Amino acid sequence: MNRVKCALTIAGTDPSGGAGIQADLKTFQELQSYGMSVVTSVVAQNTTGVSAVHHLPVTMLKQQLYAVSDDMPIDALKTGMVATIDMMEVLKQWLKETEAAYVMDPVMVATSGDPLIEEKARDYLRKELVPLTTLVTPNIPEAEYLTGKAIETEEAMKKAAEELVEVYGAGAALVKGGHLRGHAVDYLYDGNEMTVLEAERIDTNNTHGTGCTYSAAITAYLSRGDTLKEAVRKSKYFVTEAIRHSFDLGAGSGPTNHFATRKETMKG
C-alpha cells in the first residue's frame, strides 16, 4: 500500500480560520496531503486585523518540531509567521536535519497591515533561512524588503526573483504581483528559467489569507511529487479560484474559499 503524502506547516494561528495554520491545514486537506502543524505564535486576529500576539516559548517550538520529525514522515514543509530570531535559530538547526522540500512564505505583515515579525528578525530570515529554501514566495512589499529595492513594474519583479536566488541563495523565488495594477501576474525563477504565471484579477476585497493558501498549496503539491513548476502552476489556479469564490464573512477582508475547486463549489 502506498503511504499517504505528508505536509507540515510551521506558522502562527488565525482563530477566524482564513490565514495562518488554519488556512494551511484546510489547503493540505483539499489537495489530499496529510496535514501536520507546529505553532510558532498564537495570534488574536480576524478579518479586520490583529489585536494581540503571544509567541510560544522557544523550547516548545523545538519540542513540537522534533515530536513531528522523530515520528512522522515529512514530504514537504512550509513556514509562515516565525517572529523572532530565537525561533529562527531553532528552526534553522532543525531544517538542516530534514531533507523535505521547504517553501517559505516570508510573512512579515498581515493583510490588514499589522506587523507580525520583529524588525531584527527580518534580517536574520534573509541571511540565514532564505538560503535553506526550495522556494521563497514573497509578495511585492516582502520582496522589496528582502532585496532592499522598490518594485513598481513587472520587470522589477523579475529582477527581484533573480536576486533572491542568485544573491541571497534561495532555491527558487516566486514574486507575486497582487499589489500591482492590472492582471494578476507572478514570476517564478528557479536559477535557470523565468516562468510567468498569469490570471485575471478578481474584483473583491476578500483576500484574507491568500499568501498562506498559495504557499500551502505549493507545499501540498510538492509533497505529492509534483515538480516545482507544476506545483506553482496548479497552486496559482487553486488560489485564483479560492479568491473568485471567496466568502463575505466578517467586517474586514473576508477569507478565501478553500473548497472552491471541488466539483460542487461552495460559493460565498
Cite the active site residues. 176, 207, 209-212
- Tell which residue, 216, 254, 262, 231, has the closest CA to residue 20: 216
Beta strand segments in the chain, E: 6-11, 34-39, 41-46, 49-55, 76-79, 101-104, 135-136, 173-176, 184-189, 194-199
Cell 541563495 identifies what position?
169
DSSP H or E run through 20: helix 20-30
Asked if residues 19 and 49 have their Cβ atoms less than 8 Å apart, the reply is no
- Looking only at the bridges linking them, the beta strands covering 101-104 and 76-79 are parallel
| Phi, psi of 229, deg, nearest 5 | -60, -40
